[in-house]
Chain A
Amino acid sequence: MKGFIYLCFFFVWLTLSPCLSYAQQVTDAGQLPENLVQESVLEKDSILIGDQTWWNMTLPAGTWNGRQIEIPDFSPLPYKLTEQVEALSGVLLDSVVRKRHLESIRARILLTSFDSGSYRLPAVPLCLVGQNGTRDTLWFKGPLLTVNTIPVDTTSFEPFGLKPQMRYPITKGEILTLAGLLVLLAALIFLTVLIVRRRRNHMPLFGPARPKDPPHIAALKVLEDIRARELWKKQKAKSYYTLLTDTIRIYLRDRFGIQAMEKTSAEMLAALRQTASEDSLLTDKIIGGLGQMFSTGDLAKFAKYTPSDLENEESLRQAIRFVTETARIEEEKEE
């Protein structure tokens, strides 16, 4: 029986011990003498759940008379004033000066609550310590704080009046950085397109584009280059005829619109004969001469045939003759 009583005492002590330590700083004002209790006010006596409000306490002038004010320790923050109300700051002291004269000292505590209901805040003590060590305690009576819950739509179980996330204003610096990046990106795209286009059109990367040579001028330039290099004399008949026939093919493509690069010699000649009915410059003789050049070219390219120097020179002559005799010079002059 004796052991049971000790056990009961132990449990009572365990339950009340946090309350006792808390009661050293804040306590219910109802138990204090009237002359020691000061009034305090809440900035907002009604708040929404999670909202914050200041609890203001004022020490009128003359109350402390040069004594030191000792404030209660609310660490660690947030400090639970009651089960439902928390202090988000300690007691903050501030002087109120009017006409260069200290009128009062204000103490403030930032409060919040996450539980709806009406709560009587506990009394808060401020201790005034004199120079000779005397101590007077002033108690500030706790006001009533009402915490309202957020109204919930019962059909969707979502709170009413939800506000979207706060949008921060965009600063000038951010706008300038973004604009700079966009300009850089646009410049890069423009440059890439310019380079690709110029490359595709075989134009120089920088500087004005050179006017494109008419087909016969372009062909004659290459043929002149072939003549100057005299490839056939260097035992390079295959390369020589490849270059020669390719030049004529490009000329056929640009001059007559024949897709000669994808056609065989026979197909090219057939296409030319078909075009001859519309183009008086294409005579049987000139097509025949070209056919002879193609025929020698095929032999050199595909049959390891080594034409004589005479044949090589004749092939070049045939090619030049074909280009000069079928060139559309008058129309180009008009252009």
Chain B
Amino acid sequence: METVNIKELNERIQRESAFVDIMTLEMSKVIVGQKQLVENLLIGLLANGHILLEGVPGLAKTLAIRTLASVVDAKFSRIQFTPDLLPADLVGTLIYSQRNEEFQVKKGPLFANFILADEINRSPAKVQSALLEAMQERQITIGEHTFPLPEPFLVLATQNPIEQEGTYPLPEAQVDRFMLKVIVDYPKKEEEKLIIRMNNSGQFPTAAQVLKPADIRKARQVVREVYMDEKIERYIVDLVYATRKPEDCHLPDLKPLIAYGASPRASISLAIASKAYAFIRRRGYVIPEDVRAVAYEVLRHRIGLTYEAEAENIVTENIITSIINAVEVP
């Protein structure tokens, strides 16, 4: 039987998670508001999961990711996805060197710690696939050579929910590879006033570098050790299962609205994201609140809606809310 010393683990997490506050503080210097976004970026970073950001233009999506990269002493690449982008533009290619009379590898922008794939749905499927393969395998093959990607490797892709013309929506199988899908909302009135003031003054604060990639790797290890009770595991499975068979959870009304439910990858992501959330809350164990806190981000892109649901203007968030309110908490 597994033995876990929760007291010791708690103390360790208190120590190891101290950087979270500093990191959040540094990021908040640059990004006004968007606490939810910053928190989810941290969850993705700690849970080693990629993030898909969705929001209208001008909500500081790019700035948030750039700031996260600057807080960590890590290499950052921004790739603007366009319809004429090619896979080689991402992963790199072989270039013939006349001096050495041989082909040399020219690594692409994916060889970085933080990748911002801006407007990922502007590029065709072959480019998306190249990126998503790197996300999954965490290695890139150019010619005969396979190169592991640096650690931490975090892809933050953005997509615009409006302007669907001329875009290539990500297929369900590829969307599933993103651990979290974060919806970025407009700032509050007070926050927006502050943004105007900052821009008018022309003085933009910068975030200090407070972390090294090694710290992230260490923190990830601790996150994996966060204790998750069997009751919480069952709760996670119940939530995910309810997306597949809502009628078994006394939600027969949802059955005609769901085309397909969340995959087992959703269960895995929900578990690890809950652990990361507990870590951010400086706890050595997961409680149901942690699961619920990340449930929307983990599940929203993994539930397929039927035409009936779309006709009734029902979004996946409505489905998740119904499930959360119906599944018994341990």
Q: How far is the CB of B268 from chain A (nearest CB, A)?
A: 19
- A242 vs B330: C-alpha distance when bound (angstroms): 8
A318 to B291, CA, bound (A): 27
CB of A302 within 8 A of CB of B325, answer no
Q: In the complex, are the beta carbons of B284 and A303 less than 8 A apart?
A: yes
Q: Among the listed stretches A33-41, A128-136, A258-266, which one makes contact with chain B, having 4 or more residues with CB under 8 Å of it?
A: A258-266
Chain A interface, number of residues (Cβ within 8 angstroms): 16
> Quick check: which of B114-122, B130-138, B197-205, B226-234 contacts chain A, the rest being far away?
B226-234
- Contact indicator B232/A302 (Cβ below 8 Å): yes
The docked-state distance in angstroms from the alpha carbon of A266 to that of B329 is 12
Q: Is the Cβ of A264 less than 8 Å from the Cβ of B288?
A: yes
Inter-chain contact B286/A302, CB cutoff 8 Å: yes
Q: Is B328 an interface residue (CB 8 A)?
A: yes
- 0 or 1 for each of A289-303: is its CB under 8 Å from B? (1 = yes): 000000000110111
In the complex, what residues of A have CB within 8 A of residue B214's CB?
A: none
| A261-B329 Cα distance, complex, nearest whole Å | 6
Please tell me if the beta carbons of B326 and A302 are within 8 angstroms of each other in the complex.
no
Chain B: number of interface residues, binned into ranges = 20 to 34
The residue that B227 contacts in the complex, of A261, A264, A265, A304, with Cβ under 8 A, is: A304
* Residues 247-282 of A at the B interface (beta carbon under 8 Å): 259, 261-267
- In the bound complex, residues from chain A placing their C-beta under 8 Å from that of B285 are 299, 302-304
A303-B6, A303-B284, A304-B6 known; A264 vs B292 contact (CB < 8 Å): yes
Give complex CA distance A104, B326 in Å. 97
User: Scoring B residues 208 to 235 as 1 if CB is less than 8 Å from chain A, else 0, what string do you get?
Assistant: 0000000000000000000101011000
Q: Which of B4, B229, B286, B329 contacts A262 (CB 8 A)?
A: B329
Closest-by-CB residue of B relative to A302 is B229
A301 touches B325 (CB 8 A): no
B287 within 8 A of A: yes
Interface residues of B in 261-319 (CB under 8 A from A): 284-289, 292
**B325, closest chain A residue (CB):** A262
- Contact A302/B328 with A264-B287, A264-B292 known, Cβ cut-off 8 Å: no
B237 at the A interface (CB under 8 A) = no
Q: B327 at the A/B interface (Cβ < 8 Å)? A: yes
Q: List, in ascending order, chain B residues with CB within 8 A of A298's CB.
A: 287
- Give every chain B residue within 8 A of A305 (Cβ-Cβ): 6
| CB closest residue in chain B, given A305 | B6
The CA-CA distance from A259 to B250 in the complex, in Å, is 15
Query: Which residues from chain A sit less than 8 Å from chain B, CB to CB?
Result: 242, 259, 261-267, 298-299, 301-305
Binding site for A on B (CB under 8 A): 4, 6, 10, 227, 229, 231-232, 284-289, 292, 324-330
5 CB contacts below 8 A, A to B, read: A242-B330, A263-B329, A264-B289, A302-B232, A303-B229
